[in-house]
């Protein structure tokens, strides 16, 4: 890593401390007296100690590439880092946008960089693009959330934690020469408070110089009129303020990517070769690739990391903690300790619990009452049906008894008639017998 970049880190780390010659003046706090030292003490080696420690620990940087399928994301990453990342061609038929992250360990001189490249897969390919940004937002939030969870742990291990928060988002704009698409505006708007957006015009070799100039102006005016905040190269560090000011004026960078080496003059350069000529990737009159590499990697990589932590993550953390009920001050602006917040939250929770318990009890009583009245109703119904059946039964019984009585009457009259008949029959038999006897005599 160039010494100048490491010095950038130190400038920001020691923002509140000004070393003035041999005297030390501390800005933060009242009643601190400046004293001059009579001789060498040795703490002027602190910056070197910090540099050595940082080199030992290594660095981590995470880039998110958002852009349509085949817009040149992977080629640009390969060109930027002078290597061949594992690139798989995406299909245009993904049902929804997915994010693919891959981490690599890179080393330049004695500086180790753990680089994560996150690519959108299927971005802008769906018929309904309304929710295309959501998986991207979710991914960024998930990385913030896991960092926050690590921070909130009792036993934290942030020193060897793999920080996966997105430090830079390269947003690939299609080289239409026309204007931004609504998907671009909506996505960038949704992301601008979560990540450092660096818009780039992809495949800038497919657009003419005059069109490109107008296109850049159009894009910037559309971003401004839609209130999209893109990352501005910082101006607070005077060592890079000048170059950053100039570069802010060149946004969005028009880039060309290629890992192909083409012979130009007597040397081999990265270029794209066409029947009519050669587009040199690293030629500043051909495209802004060098500007992007300078700004993203050589000058502002540490600022991008710092902005991610101090601005975007801070905002996420604040919202999350507020959502959880934590606050720094009470309504009268008096500071509130963590313990007080915990007690208040616990009290709130207990009250809520009691309320829920009462509600559930009331609901239970109500349900029991309802069930009771339902049962009573059913009982009444059954009783009614029983009474009706009883009546029917009594009626049937009475009818049967009447039938039986009539039958009995019939039977007795029949018996009487039969007895009379039998008597008559007997009498006639006796009379006939007498007649026979008389005749025989
Ligand atoms: N004209 C031109 N073509 C480019 C440029 N960069 C990449 N390409 C070509 O565009 C095609 C797709 O490039 P990739 O880098 O694979 O695009 P990608 O966005 O990674 O594609 P997916 O990962 O499949 O979505 C390849 O044929 C590249 O050679 C460029 O700057 N200009
Ligand atoms: Mg790719």
DSSP string, 23-45: EEEE-SSSSPPPB--SS--SGGG
Q: How many CB atoms lie within 10 A of CB 190?
A: 16
Output the CA torsion 341→347→348→353 (10° steps): 140
pLDDT of residue 160: 84
Q: Averaged over 334-347, what is the pLDDT?
A: 83
Nearest CA to ligand 1 atom 12: 70
Q: What is the pLDDT of residue 28?
A: 52
Count of other CB atoms within 10 angstroms of residue 95: 8
Report the residue among 68, 69, 70, 126 best suited for mutation to probe ligand 1: largest number of ligand atoms under 8 A from its CB.
Answer: 70
Neighbours of 304 (CB within 10 A): 25
- Among candidates 96, 167, 94, which has minimal Cα distance to 130? 96
Tokens coding 73:
């994301």
Q: Measured from the CB, is residue 74 less than 6 Å from ligand 1?
A: yes
pLDDT attached to residue 383: 96
pLDDT: is 152 or 15 the higher one?
152
Segment 26-44 mean pLDDT: 82
The enclosing H or E element of 383 equals: helix 338-440
Is the pLDDT at 20 greater than 70, yes or no? no
Question: Judging by DSSP bridges, how do beta strands 261-264 and 168-173 pair with one another?
Answer: unpaired
Ligand 2 (single-atom ion) residues, CB below 5 Å: 73-74, 87
353 CB neighbour count, 10 Å cutoff: 10
Phi, psi dihedral angles at 9 (to 5 degrees): -60, -45
Listed in sequence order, the residues at least 6 apart from 74 whose beta carbon sits closer than 8 Å to its beta carbon are 65, 85, 87, 119
24 token code pair = 């030390």
Q: State the pLDDT at residue 91.
A: 81
User: Given CA atoms 243, 244, 248, 250 in this order, what sign does their dihedral have?
Assistant: positive
pLDDT reading at 333 higher than 70: yes
* Ligand found nearest the CA of 121: 1
Cα–Cα separations (whole angstroms), residue 359 to 355, 363, 372, 373: 6, 6, 20, 21
- Ligand 1 proximity of 146 Cβ (cutoff 6 Å): no
Mean pLDDT of the chain: 89
Strand boundaries in 163-218, DSSP class E? 168-173, 197-201
Residue nearest to atom 1 of ligand 1 (CA): 203
Nearest ligand (C-alpha, residue 70): 1
Residue 230 has pLDDT above 70, yes or no: yes
pLDDT score recorded for residue 22: 38
What pLDDT is attached to residue 367?
96
Residue 329 DSSP symbol: B
- How far apart are the C-alpha atoms of 35 and 21, rounded to whole Å? 12
Among 39-53, 122-136, 298-312, where is mean pLDDT lowest? 122-136
Q: What is the mean pLDDT of residues 148-156?
A: 92
Tell me how far the alpha carbon of residue 76 lies from the centroid of ligand 1, in angstroms: 8
> Crossing angle, helix 182-191 and helix 134-152, to 10 degrees?
10
Helix then strand then coil, % of the chain, to nearest 5: 55, 15, 30
Q: Which pair of tokens denotes residue 307?
A: 């902005």
**174-210 confidence digits (pLDDT tens):** 999 889 999 999 999 999 999 999 999 999 999 999 9
Sign of the alpha-carbon torsion through 292, 295, 298, 304:
negative
Mean pLDDT is lowest, of 143-147, 184-188, 428-432, for 428-432
Instruction: pLDDT band for 1, please (50, 70, 90 cuts).
Output: very low
Does any ligand 1 atom lie closer than 6 A to the CB of residue 254?
Answer: no
- Mean pLDDT value of segment 269-282: 94
- Cα–Cα distance for residue pair 430/432, rounded to 1 Å: 5
Distance 72 CA to ligand 1 centre (A): 3
Positions of E strands within 207-350: 253-254, 261-264, 267-274, 277-280
- Average pLDDT score over residue span 79-99: 87
Cβ of 203 less than 6 Å from ligand 1: yes
Asked if residue 90 has its Cβ within 6 Å of ligand 1, the reply is yes
Q: Is the CB of 79 under 6 A from ligand 1?
A: no
**Whole-structure pTM value:** 0.76
Is the CB of residue 206 below 6 angstroms from any atom belonging to ligand 1?
yes
Cα–Cα distance list, 151 to 84, 146, 154, 156 (Å): 34, 9, 8, 6
Evaluate if residue 170 carries a pLDDT over 60: yes
Helix axis angle for 238-248 and 3-13, nearest 10°, is: 110
Phi, psi dihedral angles at 106 (to 5 degrees): -120, 155
* Residue 23: per-residue pLDDT: 41
Contacts with 98 (C-beta within 8 Å, 6 or more apart), sequence order: 120, 121, 122, 135
**Residue 3 confidence (pLDDT) above 80:** no
Cβ of 256 closer than 6 Å to ligand 1, yes or no, is: yes
Does ligand 1 have an atom closer than 6 angstroms to the CB of 71?
yes
Expressed in angstroms and rounded, the spacing between residue 126 Cα and the centre of ligand 2 is 17
Residues in a beta bridge with 136: none
- Atom number in ligand 1 closest to CA 69: 25
The answer to which of 44-48, 214-218, 337-341 has the lowest mean pLDDT is 337-341
Of all ligands present, the nearest one to the C-alpha of 258 is 1
Categorize the per-residue pLDDT at 30 as very low, low, confident or very high, splitting at 50, 70 and 90.
Answer: low
Q: Is 284 helix (H, G, I), strand (E, B) or coil?
A: coil
State the average pLDDT over residues 68-96.
90
């Amino acid at each position: 890593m160039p010494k100048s970049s490491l010095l950038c880190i130190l400038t920001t780390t020691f923002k509140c401390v000004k070393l003035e010659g041999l005297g030390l003046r501390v800005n933060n706090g009242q009643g601190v007296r400046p004293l001059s030292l009579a001789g060498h003490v040795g703490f002027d080696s602190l910056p070197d100690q910090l540099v050595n420690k940082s080199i030992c620990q290594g660095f981590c940087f995470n880039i998110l590439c958002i852009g349509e399928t085949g817009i040149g994301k992977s080629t640009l990453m390969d060109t930027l880092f002078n290597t061949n990342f594992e690139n798989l061609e995406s299909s245009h038929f993904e049902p929804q946008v997915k994010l693919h992250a891959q981490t690599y360990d890179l080393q330049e001189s004695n500086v180790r960089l753990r680089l994560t490249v996150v690519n959108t897969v299927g971005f802008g390919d769906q018929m309904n693009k309304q929710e295309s940004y959501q998986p991207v937002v979710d991914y960024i939030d998930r990385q913030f959330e896991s960092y926050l969870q690590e921070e909130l742990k009792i036993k934290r291990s942030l020193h060897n934690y793999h920080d996966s928060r997105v430090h830079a988002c390269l947003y690939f704009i299609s080289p239409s020469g026309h204007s931004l698409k609504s998907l671009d505006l909506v996505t960038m708007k949704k992301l601008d408070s979560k990540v450092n957006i660096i818009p780039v015009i992809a495949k800038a070799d497919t657009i003419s110089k005059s069109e490109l100039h107008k296109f850049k102006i159009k894009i910037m005016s559309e971003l401004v009129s839609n209130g999209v905040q893109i990352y501005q190269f910082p101006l607070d560090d005077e060592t890079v303020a000048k170059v950053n000011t100039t570069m802010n004026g060149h946004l969005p960078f028009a880039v060309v990517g290629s890992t192909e080496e083409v012979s130009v003059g007597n040397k081999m350069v990265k270029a794209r070769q066409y029947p009519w000529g050669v587009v040199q990737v690293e030629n500043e009159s051909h495209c802004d690739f060098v500007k992007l590499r300078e700004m993203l990697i050589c000058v502002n990589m540490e600022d991008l990391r710092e902005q991610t932590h101090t601005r975007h993550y801070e905002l996420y953390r604040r919202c999350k903690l507020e959502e959880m009920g934590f606050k720094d001050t009470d309504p009268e602006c008096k500071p509130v300790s963590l313990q007080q917040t915990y007690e208040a939250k616990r009290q709130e929770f207990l009250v809520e619990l009691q309320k829920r318990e009462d509600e559930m009890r009331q609901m239970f009583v109500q349900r029991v009452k309802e069930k009771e009245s339902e049962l009573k109703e059913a009982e009444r119904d059954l009783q009614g049906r029983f009474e009706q059946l009883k009546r029917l039964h009594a009626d049937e019984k009475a009818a049967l008894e009447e039938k039986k009585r009539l039958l009995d009457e019939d039977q007795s009259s029949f018996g009487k008639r039969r007895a009379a008949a039998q008597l008559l029959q007997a009498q006639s038999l006796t009379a006939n017998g007498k007649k026979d006897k008389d005749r025989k005599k």
